[in-house]
Amino acid sequence: MPDNHLQKSGLWWLGLSAIVFALDQWTKSIATQSLKLYEAVVVNDYFNWTLMHNKGMAFSLLANQSGWQRWAIGFIAILIVCFLLVWLKKNKISQKLLNIGLVMVIGGALGNIYDRMVLGYVIDFIEIHYNDYYWPSFNVADTAISFGAFFLILDLIINKDDESQSGKS
C-alpha cells in the first residue's frame, strides 16, 4: 500500500515553495534583462527598481570578503532548508499558518541559494527609500522569507497552547 504521509503532513504545502521559487527566479530574470546594474529606475518618491548583485547575506553583510562567503552562506542556508523540511514533515497538514510560514521561507531560501551557488551573488532589484534613507535592496525571495517569518510568529502567538494540548490527546 502506498505511503500517504505526504497527504497527511506539512509536506503537502511544498507546492507553495515551488511557486515562490519560480516567481523569484522569473522576476530576477526580468530585472536582469530590463535594468542596468546599479542604475535606479525611479518609480515614485519612495520606490525604485535598481539591479544589484549582493555577494554577502542580509544587508550585504560579508559582501566584501574574498569569496569564501559564497560557499559558507550557501552551505548554512542548505542546512537550514533541510531542518525546515524535517520540521515540515513532522507537522500535520492542518497546521496552516505554521506550514505556510515554513514553505515560504523554504521557497525564498532556495531562490537565493540558487543565485548564490550558480551566479556567486544574489540578485536584488527592489529599492525602498525615504529622502536619503534607503532600505537595503531586496527581491521576491527576501519578501517570501519575511512573510514566512511573520506567519511563523503569528502561529506562535495564535497557537501557543497547541503544543501543551497535543501531548494530552
Residue ranges of domains in the chain: 7-157
Residue whose grid cell is 532548508 = 81
Q: Is 142 a catalytic residue?
A: yes
Are the CB atoms for 142 and 124 separated by under 8 Å?
yes
C-alpha cell at 132: 536619503
Which residue in the list 3, 45, 115, 124 is annotated as catalytic?
Answer: 124
> Can you give the three-state secondary structure of 90-134, one letter per residue?
HCECCCHHHHHHHHHHHHHHHHHHHHHHHHCCEEEEEEEEECCEE
81-120 pLDDT tens trace: 999 999 999 999 999 999 999 999 999 999 999 999 999 8
Catalytic residue, chosen from 24, 115, 142, 155, is 142
Respond yes or no: is residue 45 known to be catalytic: no
Per-residue pLDDT of the chain (169 residues; tens, 9 = 90+): 455 655 689 999 999 999 999 999 999 999 999 999 999 999 999 999 999 998 766 555 555 555 566 677 788 889 999 999 999 999 999 999 999 999 999 999 999 999 999 998 999 999 999 988 998 899 999 999 999 999 999 999 998 866 544 443 3
Beta-bridge mates of residue 128: 47
